[in-house]
Amino acid sequence: MLLFHTSCIFAQSLSIRQVVTTEREAWVTGEFKTEPIRKVHHTVELLVNRPLQTMDGFGACFNELGWTALNNLSEADRQLILKELFEPGFGANFTMGRMPVGANDFSRNWYSYNEHEGDFKMEKFSIQNDLETLVPFIKNALKQNPHLSLWASPWSPPAWMKYNKHYACAVSPETLDAKFRNDLTADKQGAEGSNMFVQEKKYFSAYALYFSKFVDAYREQGIKISMVMPQNEFNSCQNFPSCTWRAKGLATFIGGYLGPEMKKKQVALMFGTMEREDIALVDTIMMDAKAKRYITGIGFQWAGKGAIGKVYQKYPELKLYQTEQECGDGKNDWAYCNYTWDLMKQYLKNGASAYLYWNIALEKGGFSRWGWQQNSLVTVDKQQKTFRFNHEYYLMKHLSHFVSKGAKRIETRSDFDNLLAFVNPDSSVVVIAQNKTEALQTVHFQLEKRSAEISLPANSFSTIVFK
């Protein structure tokens, strides 16, 4: 059993709560003993008078394979998981979610909402596929939190809107098992730095209408899409649904077509998702007068983490989101949980107002339709009809349970920077810290005229709440 010690010096009353997760024990509440701690390893001053970005919240992505995984479980277990993820103030306390516009790499298979070539008026548009998976998935989450904010981005437009007339951009590796491969031929392969979307007005207009029909169709289901991004990973040529764009091509689409259409629907538009370190890609959009007027923020994932700090400095007026947790390899191990913490620090210390995990749930092994094994918050054992919450779930919860929507990240002054600190709208201060050493460490926290010495167990994550 983990045991925690604290020593407090009071100028005013100070209430402290600590929750700790290690590889062997998750979400353990500290047992405080008010005895002196002999050795303080670090000192941290929490500068509540130096607020930084405002947090919109935390969440994850609604993928088809997440819903099919959860449907292996009993109704009671499925609802327990959704309650743990989405009910306000209960578990992970997620306030936002992402979804694909049509198929993504964790869909059951390729589909779009209109595969009728030449239907520029979108007369045959349909979300019929989603009524089996994404719609019930999201509706069940909304039962837990009716105020859940939802945003969306496509992985690929309808295949007929692309030069190669195929959902994929790259030929499947020969090393993949046949069941995972696509049927794209080498002569139809695309490349980074090219526009795979047909760069013609009638295609731009039809695709903007496609987005509009998507927003309307989900509204008819009682699901509000609050924001969209025009393309997932627009530089990445993949063997699953994908579509490369040049930034200039996206600027044309945003400024002349998608932006005006989303404005009519009162749906926000952010640029992304950015998966490259190259800030010039953002500059291309922001220097285009028509596109710029519609952009409220930028979304970053994968190698985009190297650009977010530069964008934060250059465009302080923009909202910045981390849009996709890097996916892992299906092992869901403690080592990747530690890597996830490094990602969280990178994004949140460089201005991100939201942090979104990727797969909510997957069957054991974490395979996608296209053969990529990935991690998930929840792993479902299809044969045993059981589930478990993985390490990364508890790490997400260490932030999302305690850091409220509207909280502000705050500066710290310290010789110890393996932490994140926030002040909530109710003035409570939340610190998430990692002790990555093999020995217990103590930290002296200074909060205005109040202070406390907190022990951090070896190889652990701690959330400390000061009130």
Condensed to tens digits (0 to 9), the pLDDT of residues 378-403 reads: 999 999 999 999 999 999 999 999 99
Residue 430's pLDDT is what?
A: 98
Residue 287's pLDDT is what?
A: 98
Residue 2's pLDDT is what?
A: 62
Give per-residue pLDDT as tens, 190-208: 999 999 999 999 999 999 9
What is the model's pTM? 0.96
Q: Distance of CA 31 to CAs 5, 16, 42, 364, Å?
A: 7, 11, 21, 35
Domains of the chain, by residue range, sit at 6-53+410-466, 56-402
Percent of all residues in the chain with a pLDDT value above 70, rounded to a whole number: 96
Q: Is the pLDDT reported for residue 61 higher than 60?
A: yes
| Lowest model confidence (mean pLDDT) among 169-173, 331-335, 447-451 | 447-451
Residue 34's pLDDT is what?
A: 47
Average confidence (pLDDT) over 412-433: 97
Nearest to 266 by CA among 308, 212, 302: 212
Residue 190's pLDDT is what?
A: 97
Average pLDDT over the chain, rounded to an integer: 96
| Lowest model confidence (mean pLDDT) among 23-32, 86-95, 201-210, 275-284 | 23-32
- Strand boundaries in 116-248, DSSP class E: 149-153, 227-228
Residue 244's pLDDT is what?
A: 98
Q: Is the pLDDT reported for residue 450 higher than 50?
A: yes
Q: The domain 6-53+410-466: what is its CATH number?
A: 2.60.40.1180
- Check if the beta carbon of residue 375 is closer than 8 Å to that of residue 329: yes
Percent of all residues in the chain with a pLDDT value above 90, rounded to a whole number: 94
pLDDT category at 14 given cuts 50, 70, 90 is confident
**Cβ-defined contacts of 219-222 (< 8 Å, 24+):** 221/127, 221/131, 221/135, 221/139, 222/139, 222/142
- At residue 47, the 3 state secondary structure works out as strand
Give per-residue pLDDT as tens, 314-325: 999 999 999 999
Residue 220 φ/ψ, nearest 5 degrees:
-65, -25
Residue 10's pLDDT is what?
A: 40
Residue 188's pLDDT is what?
A: 98
Helix or strand holding residue 20 (H, E) = strand 16-22
Looking at residue 384, its amino acid is Q
Helix or strand holding residue 323 (H, E) = strand 319-324
Q: How far apart, in whole angstroms, are the C-alpha atoms of residue 281 and residue 275?
A: 10
> CA-based Rg of the chain, rounded to a whole angstrom?
23
Q: How far apart, in whole angstroms, are the C-alpha atoms of residue 33 and residue 257?
A: 62
State the CATH class of domain 56-402: alpha beta
Q: How far apart, in whole angstroms, are the C-alpha atoms of residue 102 and residue 119?
A: 17
User: For residue 379, what is the DSSP state?
Assistant: E
Residue 256's pLDDT is what?
A: 98
Q: How far apart, in whole angstroms, are the C-alpha atoms of residue 84 and residue 92?
A: 6
